[in-house]
């Protein structure tokens, strides 16, 4: 026996029923679709959900998204530290003098010149700020973020409506 000799057993296969071809035999008139109604017709739109507002219309169409895990810093520049009275600079001392906002992590940026030695504690430093502080004889200490070393807790309006 060869592959071209293979065929199904006699009587095991049937031909496809051709419906809707006149009243003689089975499958005439309504062709097995019943009378009226959605199932009797053949022009239902793709994505039609039975009258419910379709998914394509329900979803918002604005571009992009707002990252709920974004970390934002309040910034302090070197020229601010130059005019700061005292040698120890920390987020608490900056907030006490009203130089940074009361919420948020503090980042030191490198605008301006620093000519005196200060010990600076902050959550982040730019490379130029770090180099300028150490070149002036000061020290830099990076504070850990309050949410740990993972990602911050999610925030935003999308989370309050659940």
pLDDT value for 48: 87
Burial (0-12, 13-18, 19+ Cβ within 10 Å), 132: buried
Domains and CATH numbers, the chain: 73-142 (3.100.10.10)
Cα–Cα dist 103/146, whole Å: 12
Q: What digits encode the pLDDT tens for the residues 12-69?
A: 999 898 988 988 878 888 998 989 888 888 888 888 888 899 998 888 887 777 787 8
User: pTM for the complete prediction?
Assistant: 0.56
CB 38 within 8 A of CB 44: yes
Instruction: Say if residue 76's pLDDT is above 80.
Output: yes
Question: For residue range 106-137, what is the model confidence (pLDDT) as tens digits?
Answer: 999 999 998 889 999 999 999 999 999 999 99
């Amino acid at each position: 026996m060869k592959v071209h000799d293979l065929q199904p057993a006699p009587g095991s296969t049937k031909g496809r029923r051709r419906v809707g071809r006149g009243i003689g035999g089975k499958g005439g008139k309504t062709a097995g679709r019943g009378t009226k109604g959605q199932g009797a017709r053949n022009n239902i739109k793709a994505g039609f959900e039975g009258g419910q507002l379709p998914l394509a219309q329900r979803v918002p169409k604005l571009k992009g998204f707002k990252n709920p895990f974004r970390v934002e810093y309040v910034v302090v520049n070197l020229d601010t530290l130059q005019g700061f009275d005292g040698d120890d600079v920390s987020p608490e001392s900056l907030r006490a003098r009203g130089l940074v906002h009361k919420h948020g992590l503090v980042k030191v940026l490198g605008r301006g010149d620093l000519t005196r030695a200060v010990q600076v504690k902050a959550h982040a430093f730019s490379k130029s700020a770090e180099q300028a502080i150490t070149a002036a004889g000061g020290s830099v200490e990076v504070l850990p973020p309050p949410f740990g070393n993972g990602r911050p807790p999610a925030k935003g309006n999308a989370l309050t409506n659940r």
